[in-house]
């Protein structure tokens, strides 16, 4: 692991040695041996640090509904089908080695609310646990993870938002799916205003850090959000966005 791989994430860990030939964003530099690569965005340009051939579509930011000028850094967690759980672990606990606990907590949230908030919303809600695809995907601890059990872009983000009390913004760039969606916790005020921003680049999820800019337009909120909060008399914390 060279120093050029030791890039900034703003995590409270040991500082990496400074290298004049390495591009550091305005964050705390730290050892990131677990990360494959980091894309550092400078206005509309993208400079790649880390792996010389990152598995990332070079037109990624051009195809997204979020403009490159609004992104300060994009980084990729370890691949293997559990990348989103790893990046949630990064956001919540500043690491990605305990992603299994992330899956367990999300499963607990689903089981707790499957017959109230998620009733008639999450698919296969009335199937037995042994055959419910959503439950099976969260119970599967394999790595690499079978594609059938990968994190989806609609039900799983809402579960993650409710589990960790963080808004989740999902941006998609795939041959069959583009656009973006916003998932606000249903029953509690988000702990942080800034969402967890994830990008689906073909078949791999990336984690984005947004610049603190004014007049930023968030994606449209999950279309089921309003109906759920009205049905259950919830506060409606999406208004803060």
Determine the pLDDT at residue 236.
87
What CATH code is carried by the domain that includes residue 142? 3.90.70.80
Long-range contacts of 49-56 (CB under 8 A, 24+ apart): 49/4, 49/5, 49/7, 49/22, 49/23, 50/4, 50/5, 50/7, 55/79, 55/204, 56/201, 56/204, 56/206
The answer as to whether 19 is a domain residue is no
The DSSP string of 97-110 is TTHHHHHHHHHHHH
Determine the pLDDT at residue 39.
52
Determine the pLDDT at residue 93.
86
The answer as to whether 29 is a domain residue is no
Identify any residues that bridge with 173 across adjacent strands, giving them in sequence order.
178, 201
Half-sphere exposure of 38 (CA within 13 A, CB side): 26
Give the residue ranges of the chain where pLDDT is below 50.
1-37, 40-55
Determine the pLDDT at residue 86.
93
Provide the residue range defining the domain that includes 128: 34-240
Residue 218's region, left for phi above 0, alpha for psi from -120 to 50, else beta, is beta
Determine the pLDDT at residue 125.
58
Determine the pLDDT at residue 34.
36
The answer as to whether 216 is a domain residue is yes
The answer as to whether 16 is a domain residue is no
Cα(22)–Cα(183) distance, rounded to whole angstroms? Answer: 35
The answer as to whether 3 is a domain residue is no
Whose CA is closest to 78, among 67, 68, 89?
89
The answer as to whether 1 is a domain residue is no
> What would the pLDDT profile of 34-92 be if each residue is shown by its tens digit?
334 455 444 344 444 333 334 455 567 777 888 888 888 888 888 889 999 999 998 98
The answer as to whether 12 is a domain residue is no
The answer as to whether 56 is a domain residue is yes
Determine the pLDDT at residue 74.
85
When divided into structural domains, the chain yields a total of 1
């Amino acid at each position: 692991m060279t120093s050029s791989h030791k890039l900034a994430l703003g995590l409270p860990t040991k500082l990496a040695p400074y290298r004049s030939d390495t591009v550091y964003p305005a964050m705390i530099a730290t050892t990131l041996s677990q990360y494959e690569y980091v894309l550092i965005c400078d206005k509309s340009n993208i400079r790649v640090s880390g792996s010389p051939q990152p598995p990332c579509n070079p037109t990624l930011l051009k195809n997204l509904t979020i403009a490159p000028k609004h992104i300060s850094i994009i980084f990729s967690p370890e691949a293997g089908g559990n990348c989103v759980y790893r990046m949630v672990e990064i956001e919540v606990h500043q690491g990605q080695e305990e992603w299994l606990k992330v899956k367990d907590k999300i499963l607990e949230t689903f089981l707790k609310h499957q017959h109230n908030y998620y009733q008639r919303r999450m698919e296969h809600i009335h199937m037995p646990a042994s055959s419910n695809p959503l439950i099976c995907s969260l119970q599967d601890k394999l790595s690499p993870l079978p594609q059938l059990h990968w994190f989806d872009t609609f039900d799983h983000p809402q579960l993650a938002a409710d589990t960790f009390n963080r808004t989740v913004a999902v941006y998609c760039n795939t041959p069959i799916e583009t656009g973006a969606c916003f998932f606000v916790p249903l029953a509690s005020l988000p702990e942080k205003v800034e969402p967890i921003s994830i990008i689906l680049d073909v078949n791999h999820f990336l984690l984005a850090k947004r610049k603190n800019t004014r007049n930023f337009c968030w994606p449209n909120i999950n279309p089921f959000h309003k109906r759920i909060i009205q049905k259950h008399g919830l506060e409606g914390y999406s208004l803060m966005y």
